[in-house]
Chain A
Amino acid sequence: AQSVSQHNHHVILSEAASLELGCNYSYGGTVNLFWYVQYPGQHLQLLLKYFSGDPLVKGIKGFEAEFIKSKFSFNLRKPSVQWSDTAEYFCAVNARIKAAGNKLTFGGGTRVLVKP
């Protein structure tokens, strides 16, 4: 069974600071990895995803993530955060179950608070 762990539960930083959120996964098959963001009072939105190819993926709103297979990691980064990046961030891994569909497993989430 797959599992995802996010090391930081809460992160507080100031505007213009750099952000890095850690994510490690455990899964025996081909991985499809995602970062979702949940802004206060809003629904889950896809930030970026990795399926294959270039391990450095770029997403929306200036976010990027790097897939390091040897470390089973998929860390999220943003060079300079804004107050509007205050949200909860979830890393997720997808397991494709033959003929049955996709099973998405989420990490515990990281609450990010950006102070103006």
Chain B
Amino acid sequence: DTEVTQTPKHLVMGMTNKKSLKCEQHMGHRAMYWYKQKAKKPPELMFVYSYEKLSINESVPSRFSPECPNSSLLNLHLHALQPEDSALYLCASSQWGEETQYFGPGTRLLVL
């Protein structure tokens, strides 16, 4: 089973809202990732978690706040977003020491 699930599939939020994106995997992977994909662009890495600890932050604005409550779950908390943050947010996971990443279907976010 190489499935990564993400909820919700779609999210519309205002600039003053607080919302969260959720990602889950049950493959025993100890590395999890958040990517942002704008329309007609490639995914861009935002955060990497290794063994539930934040290991890479690609200079992402603080209005995006990641959280890894356990080895299967990864959240992305959103607050005071801007319309330009509208994008597809992808979660991925990989086995520690193994470079292949498996992607979820993404959450399509629209900020009004």
How many A-B Cβ pairs are below 8 Å? 60
Cα-based distance from A51 to B106 in the complex (angstroms): 27
Is A90 part of the contact surface with B, judged by Cβ < 8 Å?
yes
Is A70 part of the contact surface with B, judged by Cβ < 8 Å?
no
Is A105 part of the contact surface with B, judged by Cβ < 8 Å?
yes
Residues of B contacting A105 in the complex (Cβ-Cβ under 8 angstroms):
45
Residues of A contacting B41 in the complex (Cβ-Cβ under 8 angstroms):
108-109
With A90-B42, A109-B41 as given contacts, are A102 and B48 in contact (CB-CB < 8 Å)?
yes
CB distance from A20 to the nearest CB of B (A): 20
Is B101 part of the contact surface with A, judged by Cβ < 8 Å?
yes
CB distance from B11 to the nearest CB of A (A): 16
Cβ–Cβ contact B105 & A42, under 8 A? yes
Cβ–Cβ contact B103 & A100, under 8 A? no
Cα-based distance from A109 to B42 in the complex (angstroms): 6
Q: Which of A99, A101, A109 has the largest count of B CB atoms less than 10 A from its CB?
A: A101
Cβ–Cβ contact A46 & B105, under 8 A? no
Is B66 part of the contact surface with A, judged by Cβ < 8 Å?
no
Q: Which of B40, B49, B101, B102 has the largest count of A CB atoms less than 10 A from its CB?
A: B101
Within 8 A of B (CB), among A15-45: 32, 34, 36, 42-45
Within 8 A of B (CB), among A25-74: 32, 34, 36, 42-46, 49, 51
- 17 more contacts with CB within 8 A, not counting A90-B42, A103-B56, A104-B45, are A36-B103, A43-B90, A43-B105, A44-B43, A44-B90, A45-B103, A49-B99, A90-B43, A97-B55, A101-B49, A103-B45, A104-B92, A104-B101, A107-B42, A108-B42, A109-B40, A109-B42
List B residues at the A interface (Cβ < 8 Å). Answer: 31, 33, 40-45, 48-50, 55-56, 90, 92, 94, 99-106
